[in-house]
Amino acid sequence: MTKIQQHLNVRELRQEWRLTDMNGGGRREGKGCILVSDSHSEGSILVSDSHSEGSILVSDSHSEGCILVSDSHSEGSILVSDSHSEGSILVSDSHSEGSILVSDSHSEGSILVSDSHSEGNILVSDSHSEGNILVSDSEGSILISDSHSEGSILVSDSHSEGSILVSDSDSEGSILVSDSHSEGSILVSDSHSEGSILVSDSHSEGSILVSDSHSEGSILVSDSDSEGSILVSDSHSEGSILVSDSHSEGSILVSDSHSEGNILVSDSEGSILVSDSERSILVSDSERSILVSDSDSEGSILVSDSHSEGCILVSDSHSEGNILVSDSEGSILVSDSERSILVSDSDSERSILVSDSDSEGCILFSDSHSEGYILVSDSHSEGNILVSDSEGSILVSDSERSMLVSDSERSILVSDSDSEGSILVSDSDRCILFSDSHSEGYILVSDSHSEGSILVSDSEGSILVSDSDSEGSILVSDSEGSILVSDSHSEGSILVSDSHSEGSILVSDSHSEESILVSDSHSEESILVSDSHSEGCILVSDSEGCILVSDSHSEGNILVSDSEGSILVSDSDSEGSILVSDSHSEGNILVSDSHSEGNILVSDSKGCILVSDSDSEGSILVSDSDSERSILVSDSEGCILFSDSHSEGSILVSDSEGSILVSDSERSMLVSDSERSILVSDSDSEGSILVSDSERSILVSDSHSEGSILVSDSHSEGYILVSDSHSEGNILVSDSEGSILVSDSERSMLVSDSERSILVSDSDSEGSILVSDSDRCILFSDSHSEGYILVSDSEGSILVSDSHSEGSILVSDSHSEGSILVSDSHSEESILVSDSHSEGCILVSDSEGCILVSDSHSEGNILVSDSEGSILVSDSERSILVSDSDSEGCILVSDSEGSILVSDSEGSILVSDSDSEGSILVSDSEGSILVSDSDSEGCILVSDSHSEGSILVSDSDGCILVSDSHSEGSILVSDSEGCILVSDSHSEGSILVTVAAREVSGHRVKLGQ
């Protein structure tokens, strides 16, 4: 007897079953209804076909260890239940074709697939896999434990006959599920809740009432006249559950609203959902709609596939670090509690709505019957970011910085009406309104139908930019130690004041036409045009629209001249000057460095911006010659590849066709429209904000940064050039047909929208975010808080990673073509991604659209590989392990032309959909579950091939086979042409129930292994 047997106190099932009839052991005929009943003797069996055509009910309602084979209302569905015996097996096909629930709670090392008094819920355990979840049964108890998690859940049936105790070692209260008070009724009691919950089947056809005597409302579980659909509703509580199988063949919807560690596995004609409170994975290749809601726990899950072909939206609105990934024909949603991104395929004709309106941090996904348009709104949660792309339009919302950007015929709408920091930006007929109506200290930008007039207002310590219909009248005010820029209807009158910070700068032009005074209020004497960061003085002169900036101590002066819309920036002593010219062409901008061989050439022809490096073919090179930071940006067939060969996180961001970059609350925000561009940037907590209209140029400088920022729109059609004169922190913003490029050596960002592909990156070492969309592929990485997310989608494949590390993720380029290097300075419980020569490093490489992430030594790191649509994810300390099929103990997830493959060689889940419609293979090589749907209609095979006491469930042509090949007392259930065989291969007597030609016969069958 193994240790598991000793722990579970396994005993053999030795019971002989006989079939009798209520009329004396014979049989009776009549409209296909057959009743075989021995209602009072121990081990009696009830076989009833009373309500549906060809359905069979085999029930033993009073004896211990009884078996229930029920087909109550659906055609061909089978329910095999051993609800009270120790070591029972439950096989349930409640209302759909091929849905199976299998439970073998006393087999040695077996897997428990259990439906704990609810239809469709499946608990899966692999008792041999290290780090996975263990579900064991000790004297009627079920223990669900994760060896690496702090808390386990105990489901016990040791206190009362037919009662189950569910207890979480880390939670304050346990739950008692009891079936000891009424026939067919279940009492669920929580020791810390005000009252118990009564689950009752009140004599209705397929309807179950779940009532909580002390709560405000009861829960209704109803199957009232609907075709196999189940509704679980709690009208007053925040954790109401909907379990629905609405008109789908064999699909199962599962919801767990309160448990913090349960695992739900559902197989619905090729769709598999694996979920616990910390991690949720949904892999679907089904044409059915799936809704999984856990609205009351901190890790609530919303999964919706509403009538679209394999399109699924997954959201987790509360759980810290949970990962939800959906691949819907190229559309992907990646969401956790702090950051959420939704990218949708605009070609989809389906309308999707996922709403959780009662819980805090509710999420609304709306595809309002338009072609692939998706609206994502999070009105309550703090810090959640939701992004929606509908034909170039993006919605980004969190509680502190909520923005809705819609690019429909070059109009922008930014709105967040529910949070205190709501922002409204409206662009209608080239009129912009940027308003925050609820809080003090946000930004108001108004363009009230005047030509280029802009009002930016932020009360109490923010920025006020006002252009009240006057020519060049600009007021920028930031109280309490910020910047004041005032141009009060005078020619070139500018006041810049920083009154509270050390080293603040006062720039005053008191109505003089040329003179500008720059004063440092903290130095002993004021210096005329002084730069506190340089050794020499700087003279800035404005004469008839031309600006001369001269550094008297440096070898070369700089001339910035604006003549007839052209800007010349020249360093007279250096060999190569820069010319930025708009020579009366239609918005064409030329930026040229005449001397350097590899400098940047920016050319705008016919409204497009071309950034070219003469040494490279068709790729973009953006280089900072003064620092050791060079960035390569390449656009090939609508995909953007960026890398940084030297810097520790310098990233370029480009946005084409009017897309928008918005980072989290601590990162900068960039909002731009191609014709009326608005740039709002907060690159650092102490950093500056840039706001620009296509017909106005605004200069805003922050005293805490070494270089000022110039935003210039030189009479072009909304093209913006932003540059920082200092080498260590240059910012470049370029807008070409709605594209935006932002580069900062410390916190640079790249936003690109090329044929609705989006690339967003913020590679700050403390919290970088990387989002890449290339041909509907998404790469999302956030390493700033616990539970970071790394998501990659290459050719339809998905990469999801949750590091749970305390450190941040650094992304750079290690001199290889297209390769990405991600590094984290922490080694314990964090992701270490470094050069391939260091110990425990992870190498990320992108070659021909494939992403490879490798971890060679570090314990508990994440191993990710994407090759030709396949995904490799590995996390040794967590329940999700995904790797390449050639490596040991990994899972391979591949989505190629709609097929999905998930493989784990050491006790996880293998899901394969190999080119057949709806076929699924779930396999665990060492004591897990094998589920196969190989080309047969509704045929499901569940097998545990290696563990002692594995379970085999096979459904072929309406037949269900449940077999435990190694455990003592396995059960075989077969339904073939109306016949049901229930057999226990090791018990003395098995049961054969046959319904053929309106006959019932009972046989003793002795089955071997």
pTM (2 d.p.): 0.18
Q: How far apart are CA 334 and CA 789, in angstroms?
A: 8
- Give the model confidence (pLDDT) of 471-508 as tens digits: 333 344 444 433 344 444 433 333 444 444 333 334 44
Any idea what the Cα angle at residue 421 is, between residues 415 and 427, rounded to 5°? 25
- Give the model confidence (pLDDT) of 190-249 as tens digits: 444 334 433 434 333 334 344 444 434 444 444 433 333 333 434 443 333 333 333 333
User: Stretch 757-784: mean pLDDT, rounded?
Assistant: 37
User: Stretch 692-705: mean pLDDT, rounded?
Assistant: 36
898 class by beta-carbon count within 10 Å (0-12 exposed, 13-18 middle, 19+ buried): middle
Count Cβ neighbours within 10 Å for each residue of 634-665 and write b for 16 or more, e otherwise.
Answer: bbeeebbbbbbbebbbbbbbbbbbbbbbbbbb
From the CA atom positions of the chain, what is the Rg in Å? 33
Q: How many CA atoms lie within 13 A of 608 on its CB side?
A: 6
User: Three-class SS string for 583-650?
Assistant: CCCCCCCEEEECCCCCCCEEEEECCEEEEECCCCCCEEEEEECCCCEEEEEEEECCEEEEEECCCCCC
Amino acid found at 941:
L
Q: How far apart are CA 436 and CA 424, in angstroms?
A: 6
- For residue 792, the model assigns a pLDDT of 36
Q: Are 304 and 365 in contact (CB under 8 A)?
A: yes
Of 366, 360, 404, 365, which is closest to residue 382 (Cα–Cα)? Answer: 360
User: Stretch 430-457: mean pLDDT, rounded?
Assistant: 39
Question: Is 819 strand, coil or helix?
Answer: strand
Q: How confident is the model at residue 364 (pLDDT cuts 50, 70, 90)?
A: very low
Q: What are phi and psi of 647, to 5 degrees?
A: -70, 160
Q: What is the DSSP letter of 432?
A: E
Question: Is 6 strand, coil or helix?
Answer: helix
Give percent of the chain above pLDDT 70. Answer: 0
Question: Is 4 strand, coil or helix?
Answer: helix
- Using CA atoms, how far residue 263 sits from 82, 277, 281, 518, in Å, is 22, 8, 11, 65
Q: How far apart are CA 882 and CA 111, in angstroms?
A: 20
Of 288, 287, 291, 289, which is closest to residue 303 (Cα–Cα)? Answer: 291
Q: How far apart are CA 861 and CA 805, in angstroms?
A: 9
Size of the chain in residues: 1009
Q: How far apart are CA 819 and CA 816, in angstroms?
A: 5
Q: How far apart are CA 464 and CA 473, in angstroms?
A: 12
- Give the model confidence (pLDDT) of 604-652 as tens digits: 333 333 343 334 333 433 333 333 333 334 333 332 333 333 333 323 3
For residue 131, how far is the Cα from the chain centroid?
23
Any idea what the Cα angle at residue 270 is, between residues 264 and 276, rounded to 5°? 15
Of 593, 560, 561, 592, which is closest to residue 575 (Cα–Cα)? Answer: 593
- Using CA atoms, how far residue 797 sits from 403, 791, 794, in Å, is 29, 10, 5
Q: How confident is the model at residue 437 (pLDDT cuts 50, 70, 90)?
A: very low
Going from N- to C-terminal start, the domains of the chain cover 593-755
User: Stretch 967-995: mean pLDDT, rounded?
Assistant: 44
- For residue 272, the model assigns a pLDDT of 40
Q: How far apart are CA 197 and CA 927, in angstroms?
A: 36
Q: How far apart are CA 810 and CA 814, in angstroms?
A: 12
Amino acid found at 407:
D
- For residue 311, the model assigns a pLDDT of 31
For the chain, the average pLDDT equals 38
Of 960, 980, 952, which is closest to residue 58 (Cα–Cα)? Answer: 980
Q: In what order do the strands lie in the sheet with 264-267?
A: 264-267, 272-275, 280-283
Q: How far apart are CA 846 and CA 831, in angstroms?
A: 19
- For residue 45, the model assigns a pLDDT of 40
Amino acid found at 801:
S
- Give the model confidence (pLDDT) of 57-116 as tens digits: 444 444 333 344 444 443 333 444 444 433 333 444 443 333 333 434 343 333 334 333
Cross-strand pairs, 810: 823
Q: Are 412 and 427 in contact (CB under 8 A)?
A: yes
Question: Which residues, in sequence order, are CB contacts of 361 under 8 Å at separation 6+?
Answer: 317, 318, 337, 378, 380, 381, 382, 384
| Run of H or E including 3 | helix 3-8
